[in-house]
Amino acid sequence: MAAALTQHRLRLHATVELIDEVLASALSEEHRAKLIAEAVRQSGGEQVPERGEELARFVVGPLRQLLEARLGGTAADSLLGQFRLVAEHADLLSDDPFETIVDSSVRPVDRSHRELGVVLITPDLEAFSRLSRRLPPTAIVLRHPRLPVELRAPVDEPVIVIDAREGLPEPTALSRATGGRDVVVWGADLHPDTTLAILFGAARSWVRCGSEVMPDDLAALCETLAMASATAG
């Protein structure tokens, strides 16, 4: 019984952490805590649901309504999309009840313009938060501490940012994730050009970015790449 209870708490804690991480791109720590607590209160429950349909309804319902009231509908929908992708990776929505609930609960988003999606491969949560804050409110930004087995992108043609300041991911996974995509190598100055040319040879384009470059400038570079790709397309 004790083991089961401990496992439940760990899963619940992981769920709250995921929600908090997604909201970190738009809200301070204090405001995130208050917003999540208020969403729980409005849901009529005592805690954030652990997984599955209850979690999906919590996120689409009270949590989204509070986000819309504070940040606007477009930003709320963007954050909702980020959470869905991250939660699916964490297997919190393995039965995918999100699809039906989102389709019936969230108003359509105008997709007549090109969406900006950025996938940042880094363990650095602070860098992720700063990058997210400097991108447009409609941008969808995901962070992975390491390359997952399957990289699900937030949009069809995302910009992939590889944080190479502390080393490079495993070559096979790197090639699979970056093939045919625009890539920014953050910390390229720490690695030989010949190594980078081999590792990113399958990318549609790859750009060297020095280790001293700050997340604010990295965000501007991602926007430029996305616009150039849209023009070329």
Quote the pTM value: 0.53
Closest to 113 (Cα-Cα) out of 133, 83, 138: 138
pLDDT at 156 over 90: no
Average pLDDT for residues 131-159, to the nearest whole number?
Answer: 71
- Under DSSP, is residue 208 helix (H, G, I), strand (E, B) or coil? strand
List, in order of start, the domains of the chain with CATH numbers: 2-105 (no CATH), 117-232 (3.40.50.2300)
For 83-115, write each residue's pLDDT tens digit.
Answer: 777 676 666 665 444 443 443 333 333 333 446
Distance CA 82, CA 139 (A): 10
Q: CA dihedral defined by 22, 25, 27, 32, rounded to 10 degrees?
A: 20
User: Cα separation of 213 and 208, whole Å?
Assistant: 11
